[in-house]
Amino acid sequence: MQKQFLAVAVAVFSFTAQGAVPQNIAKLEDESIAESLAKLSDVNMFNLGGMHASEGRAFLTDTPLGKDAGKSDLDAIMSNRRFRKIFGELSRLDGTAAAEMINRELSRAVPDYLKMYEAEMLRQGPHFKVDKLAGINVFSGPVFAIGDVPEGEVVIVGARLKALALVWTSGMLGLTGTTGQVERVARLAAKQRTDLYADSTLHPFFKNRMLERASLYNRQIISSGLLGVVGNRGLVASAIQAAGVEWQERKWVVSNDRSGARNLDDSLGSLTAKFTAPMDDAHFDILLKELHLSQQTGSPEK
């Protein structure tokens, strides 16, 4: 019988969702699209309900990231009024102009995020070494700041959600001009997973939490981004069939106050978010292989 560990994942947070308060709506109304893109990493604008409580789970020592992991990221991104505003405005731009804006933002955001990820691994990793936790079946962590963060301060949860939101937007809008940046994120995510799985010195619980909460490894978002930006439709169709990809959709209303608010009485219509259904590591790897990305993870940061 496999040994189980009861671990408690905790986060530094506020119970108040920041995205809907009047002052935030007013700020969004005055922001240009460029300003909104730059501020998308503001973690206070995401509704991180999935992280707003301590959670106790039993993790088997050899369990990879579960199939449904990452769904909370989709909810968090769609809850963000700034994201909804950005998506709505980019959808009305010429594709080339929209791609240039996203490329510019990802080229800045990803290196900044990577520095935070590396810092978190150095800061928290030593506390979750297997030998240090030997004989301990109940423990807590890792800890991430996700609420009441001072304005203008960027934390890792906001930085990763920004990068993932831009990848997802690129796919939903079919911005083939962002292919290079989207593929770069995909390679980075795959490398983060490989590195964490391979590190036998780290406790499985820590690896699971870092992968799901701090890494770029969100299979649904990255798959949606890749399949949307690859210009070769035949290649996309083949990859979808091989990996058994299924699509899901969700709609939200767009108001004309430029804040992305959900306002049924004063709206400009609805936007549709499209994303792949949950998939496990094996099916994600098939998708990468079909898109000729599985052998290109050596230097993803370049």
What pLDDT digit, counting tens, does each position of 147-206 carry? 789 989 999 999 999 999 999 999 999 999 999 999 999 999 999 999 999 999 999 889
What value does the mean pLDDT of the chain take? 83
CA distance 299 to 45: 33
| Higher pLDDT pick, 120 / 151 | 120
Please compute Rg for the chain using Cα positions.
Answer: 19
Provide the pairing of β-strand 138-140 with 4-9. parallel
What pLDDT digit, counting tens, does each position of 60-114 carry? 444 588 899 989 999 999 999 999 999 999 999 999 999 999 999 999 999 999 9
| Higher pLDDT pick, 205 / 235 | 235
Helix ranges (H only) for 15-154 are 22-30, 33-38, 71-79, 81-91, 95-124
Model confidence at 22, pLDDT cuts 50, 70, 90, reads: low
Amino acid identity of residue 175, one-letter, is: L
Any idea what DSSP says for residue 143? -
Q: Is the pLDDT of residue 16 over 90?
A: no
pTM metric for this prediction:
0.86
On whether the CB atoms of residues 294 and 193 are closer than 8 A, the answer is no
Taking every pair of C-alpha atoms in the chain, what is the biggest distance, in angstroms? 59
Q: At what angle do helices 95-124 and 81-91 cross, to 10 degrees?
A: 150
Q: What is the pLDDT of residue 74?
A: 95
Buried b (16+ CB within 10 A) or exposed e, 205-218: bbbbbbbbbbbbbb
Sign, CA dihedral 34-38-42-43, equals positive
Q: What is the pLDDT of residue 269?
A: 57
